[in-house]
Amino acid sequence: MSTRILLILCFAAAACSQIPEGGSPLATSAPPGTATPVSASTPTATLIPTPLPSETASLPPVPTVESLEAIVNTNLLSCRYGPGPEYLYLDGLREGWKLKLVGQTGGNNWAWVKGTKNNCWVNVKYLKIDGDFKSLPVVYPDIARLPRTSYYPPTSVLSATRDGNNVTVTWLAVPISPGDYEDENMFNYIVEAWRCEGGQLLFDPLASNRETISFIDEPGCAQPSHGRVFVQEKHGFAGPAEIPWPP
């Protein structure tokens, strides 16, 4: 009997020695000096969103054509040396005349007319055009040039300042003799401003008899604004004097 009790106590002691203190029967401590292997984590894929195409499709550029046919639809249309109503007059075109348009400014509504001797500029609102005049090549100021005069010197720009979107330019006076006026309505100066308005770069020829002028130039155009000043007399144009554009 005592021998049986002794065997039971020995088995119980052996079973207790296999459970560490405060631990779980399934936990196994690593032997001293042996690194415990760490399972490698599975890499997590990073999803990169594919950019969607822009919802606002940009308009395709208007194809360039060499020329367009047009017909004068007003009683008498002035054709001028420059692309605006205040440049020197070259010729008058009668209603019903057929014209060949060969260029534009890219910034206003004037088109360059092919002439027998000299080309000249007309306002397209007085024409019936077979096509879109904006598809004509831009020829001003690099190809279509103003006739120059040797009778008067160019002016010099004195200042160009900005107050918000308002730009003011001043220049030196160049007096014109009374006999060198084309007529009583001629302006002494033509200020050509490539200015920004509504996100578009406009070509705006401005006329003045004083040595200063102001105009609007807004931010937001991809192309830089710029401008120049011509002296005008009946024989042609002196200059230009470039405007140092204010920031």
Q: How far is CA 62 from the centre of its chain?
A: 16
Which one of 100, 135, 170 terminates a domain? 135
Do 192 and 222 share a domain, yes or no?
Answer: yes
pLDDT tens digits for range 19-66: 333 333 333 333 344 333 434 444 444 444 444 444 434 455 677 999
Q: Where are the beta strands (DSSP E) in 6-81?
A: 68-72, 76-80
Do 165 and 124 share a domain, yes or no?
Answer: no
pLDDT tens digits for range 210-231: 999 999 999 999 999 999 999 9
Do 93 and 168 share a domain, yes or no?
Answer: no
State the total domains in the chain.
2
CATH assignment of the domain containing 86: 2.30.30.40
What element of type H or E holds 129?
strand 127-129
Mean pLDDT of 146-163: 98
CATH assignment of the domain containing 195: 2.60.40.10
Single pTM value for the model: 0.75
Domain span holding position 162: 157-242
Do 220 and 167 share a domain, yes or no?
Answer: yes
| Helices and strands per DSSP (H, E), number in the chain | 1, 14
Which one of 135, 166, 187 terminates a domain? 135
pLDDT of residue 54: 40
What element of type H or E holds 2?
helix 2-16
Do 164 and 120 share a domain, yes or no?
Answer: no
